[in-house]
Structure 1
Amino acid sequence: MINDEKLLDGRAVANGIKEKLKSRVSVLKERGITPSLVTILVGNDPSSETYVRMKGNACERVGISSKKIHLAEDTTTEELVKTITNLNEDDSVHGILLQHPVPSQIDERLAFETISIEKDVDGVTSAGYGQTALGFGTYPSCTPAAIMRIMEDYDIQAEGKHAVVIGRSPILGKPVSALLLNQNATVTTCHSRTRNLASHVRQADIVVAAVGRPEFIKGEWIKEGAVVLDAGYNKGNVGDVEYEQAAERASYITPVPGGVGPVTIAMLLNHTVDAAEKTLN
């Protein structure tokens, strides 16, 4: 039985964010602005359809306008880029989210780069990543932002700590490494091909699991008293960390599900409202 005092309750953090968003959205609507997020889904991937529906429902619960654009499986890069360009030019749209993965014929990176940085609420553009790394990014990728928000809400300090990030994706591993570094942690970024991975993890005060492989990080690797933030989500509601074994050693740990995931969606909504508020200036 895991001690509840060890749990980093992502649902509670997300609910706190969303409650504050409701009042911010009300203020915007009083001034004639309804925050608007448009999600683009290309093809018919069932998991992607589920994620898009979840995000749409979350938007509605806090008063954000949510629109889904569903493009055919055989959509070309040019057609997708045109769709994004039109949304960039639409002043009523505050956030654009391209659900990934996209079909193989599409140049996903080119599509991401088409999104205006002012509307890149999911933090997928290279410009947004660069600004995040340099410490002045407005909208970090949502999962890294969620990890940092959980740490903030639970008063977990990064400064002076050794953080080990397992994963190097451009929307998770790399940006969360930069965010931790900007908070004065000493950061080691590892991945699936890192040699002697266990020895790196054993040194970590903070472990961020973002490799996308079920129970890839073994519980016995976790240093006594370390903080474990598991951003993995695999079939069977399994994270990237061996949860039961890791929880015995950790001081804090995120469950899967109910940890990083709910806060990721809440940060997407938060960024969308931030973008809408900027239009008032």
Structure 2
Amino acid sequence: MTAKILDGKSLAASVRAAVKDEVARLAARGVRPGLAAVLVGDNPASRVYVRNKMRACEETGVRSVLHEFPAGVTTQELLDCVAALNADRGVHGILVQLPLPKQVDAARVLAAVAPEKDADGFHDENLGALLAGKPGAVPCTPAGVMRLLDSAQVPLAGRHAVVIGRSNIVGKPLVLLLLQRDATVTICHSKSVGLAAIARQADVLVAAVGRAKLVTADMVKPGACVVDVGVNRLPDGTLAGDVDFASVKEIAGWITPVPGGVGPMTIAMLLENCVRAAAKAAS
């Protein structure tokens, strides 16, 4: 059995098309959604991510503005930038590209973003709303994962989902979204004992830890849906996910590729969050 590919690239294209239509509807009312990105330093991966986000904005008609700072920026300088963006009525979504340099208090900077302009869904208020079952802006990667699962009609209610990774950006919010869909959820992390045995119980297995090819075929239940959130650059310069794609695709029922799986959906959900915020601000 060879797994069905969960094609995030094509699904993201359809999401962007819907976003473009919504942008046109808002434009007819005199509203143009605006996204502001804050980028610090010269991290190559961060630059690629931000460039892709800006390109997606251009494609869909969302106005984008990039605020760049040197690696030596202070926390206060970023707080001042965020405060100005919060006050700018032409900005409906703000994203602060992570990671930030060590001297910056990242938690303070993220907390300073107005919750209604939190395009990434990282603000404590939005995470708390998700926990309460009243989601506002949902973190983009978990939202993208759920959209991929829905597009393939992967059964969730009553099924066992195992999420490897407990970050506030992916693992924890994804657990909450899966619980809202009546899945039975186990979350694993670096201190989990018997990871392989737990993973083998999963009907839906999500890897989000940033370790290349951590999940191997012997960790996957036949027919399971395997979602690979990781993006890792190997010594030869190629990209690999947290899943050993070549071996796992022969066992799984569904699998996401890297690249072309979760990544494009993350950007698509960012656009949705921004446009939704613009529509709400205009209502």
Structure 1 counterpart of 2:170: 172
Q: 1:40 aligns with which of 28, 38, 41?
A: 38
User: Which of 214, 220, 229 matches 2:218?
Assistant: 220
Q: Which of the residues 176, 183, 190 maps onto 1:185? A: 183
1:251 to 2:253 alignment: yes
SS in 2 for 1:67: strand
SS of residue in 1 equivalent to 2:197: helix
What is the match of residue 207 of structure 2? 209
Amino acid paired to 1:122: D
Cα distance in 2 between the residues matched to 1:144 and 1:248: 25
Q: Give, as a single letter, the amino acid of the residue that structure 2 aligns with 1:25.
A: V
Deviation, structure 1 residue 244 = 1.4
Structure 2 residue aligned with 1:137: 135
SS in 1 for 2:282: coil
Superposed CA deviations along residues 128-159 of structure 1, whole A, max 9, x for unmatched, are 11111222111111000000011111111211
In the TM superposition, what is the alpha-carbon distance from 1:182 to its structure 2 partner? 1.2
- SS at structure 2 position matched to 1:93: coil
- The residue type equivalent to 1:278 in the other structure is K
- Residue identity matched to 1:271: N
> Matched residue of 1:249: which SS?
coil
For structure 1, which runs of at least 5 residues remain unmatched after alignment?
none
Residues 107-142 of structure 1: CA deviation (Å, up to 9, x unaligned): 001100001110011011111111112221111110
Query: How many Å apart are 1:44 and its aligned residue?
Result: 1.7
Runs of 4+ deviating beyond 4 Å: none
Please point out which of 150, 154, 161 is paired with 1:163: 161
Give the letter aligned to residue 232 of structure 1. Answer: G
Query: Post-superposition shift, 1:23?
Result: 1.0
The residue aligned with 1:124 is 122
The equivalent residue for 2:281 is 279
Q: TM-score, normalised by structure 1?
A: 0.97
Query: 1:79 aligned to 2:77?
Result: yes
Q: Please say if 1:112 is aligned against 2:110.
A: yes
Q: What fraction of aligned residue pairs are identical, expressed as a percent?
A: 44
- State how far apart, in whole Å, the 2-side matches of 1:220 and 1:139 are: 37
CA distance in 2, matches of 1:248, 1:163: 20
Matched to 2:190, the amino acid is S
Q: Distance in 1 between matches of 2:157 and 2:133?
A: 15
Partner of 1:240: 242
Structure 2, unmatched stretches of 5+, are none
Aligned pair count?
A: 279
Q: Is the 8 A contact 1:160 1:185 kept in 2?
A: yes
For 2:44 and 2:196, locate their aligned partners in 1 and report how far apart those are by CA, in whole Å: 35
Task: Provide Cα deviations, 1:11-50, integer angstroms capped at 9, x if missing partner.
Answer: 1110110111111111111111111000001122122111
- The alignment yields a C-alpha RMSD, in angstroms, of 1.1
Q: How far apart are the structure 1 equivalents of 2:258 and 2:46? A: 19
CA distance in 1 between partners of 2:263 and 2:48 (Å): 14
> What SS does the corresponding residue of 2:99 show, helix, strand or coil?
coil
Q: Shift of the alpha carbon at 1:280? A: 2.1
